[in-house]
Amino acid sequence: MSEESKRRFSAMHTAGTLGTIGAIVIAIGMDGAEIRSFIKLSAFLLVVGVPFFMLLGGFGKVFLAFIPDAFRTLFAKPATPNPTYAEIARYGSRYAVGAGVIGTVFGLIHMMGEISSPESMGPAIAMAFISVLYALLLSELFFPFLYRAYMGPTAESTTGSGPLSRKGLGLLSGVALLLLLTVFVMMYAMNFYEENQSASWSTTVELKPFETNVGDIWHGRVIAFTPALVVSERAEMDIRVNRTLLRDRIIGAINSMSEEQVLANDARERVKTVIRDEANKLLTNSSQGQVAEVLLGDFLIKQGVPGQGNGVGP
């Protein structure tokens, strides 16, 4: 009888395989996370691909025969021990650890390269963490299960030469700890940087009162307000130097507003938005930062004709 015909379905192997998968999936679902959040092709190719080709190079055709047999072993117990396949599982576990470490280092390097762009750091952090996760699944669950199945009763007496030594597990744990520390340090540094940046929004540039029509001279109404701009220190000088140009832009934008917009309940916020947008356009052209806030005093809509002071610089 061939080895394949002597295999018998193992309820315990099947329960172990399906139970492990089910426990992981259910645990993810209970926390409200999505399975796809734990799927990253680049990490999978690295952590699975590196052991695959290393084992292929080391064991050749024997490894190719091992692959389908290993998946059958997840559900059916081998009839006799197979030390060669056990050795493949042992090396596969070690190669998975190495690939996980490489994936984590790649993620850390990517994180450092994107440190000035926080929105781009997510994929790098995911690459680092998911590489560790995939390495643990292979080195601590998949390959040890196969190793014990192929070694049979002798597995108890060869514990010290099992799939993953304490040294390898310590390496993987150390890398995971280093990754966590790096992320925490970077988050602290970014928070510190943002706090210092926000502290620089301390300069207020006050402009002299505006008084102008809105569109055509409808019903003889005039809009009047006194604005002030909260800007960074390096933008203050640019605002003061270009105050006449800024005033002309604000008046032009206000004149383009409709009667309905000015009489609406949110007219004050609309005017603040217009002032902020025009000031930011000016600052963007000169690369001097942005307006943090617009303050309005004496915001009035009144009957009459704009004063003679309209158009005078702040």
Statement: residue 119 has pLDDT above 50: yes
What residue spans define the domains of the chain? Answer: 3-199, 203-303
pLDDT of res. 152? 77
Please choose, from the candidates 212, 208, 203, 221, the residue with its C-alpha nearest in 3D space to the C-alpha of residue 297. 208
Tokens read off for 155: 């597995």
Q: pLDDT, tens digit, for every residue of 11-58?
A: 888 888 888 888 888 888 887 777 888 888 989 999 999 999 999 999
pLDDT of res. 58? 93
Q: Which one has a higher pLDDT value, 160 or 150? A: 150
pLDDT of res. 214? 65
Q: Which CATH class is domain 203-303?
A: alpha beta
Give the span between the Cα atoms of 42 and 189, in whole angstroms: 28
Q: pLDDT, tens digit, for every residue of 189-238?
A: 666 655 555 545 568 888 888 887 765 544 556 788 888 888 877 777 78
pLDDT of res. 252? 84
Statement: residue 163 has pLDDT above 80: no
Percent of residues, the chain, with pLDDT higher than 70: 74
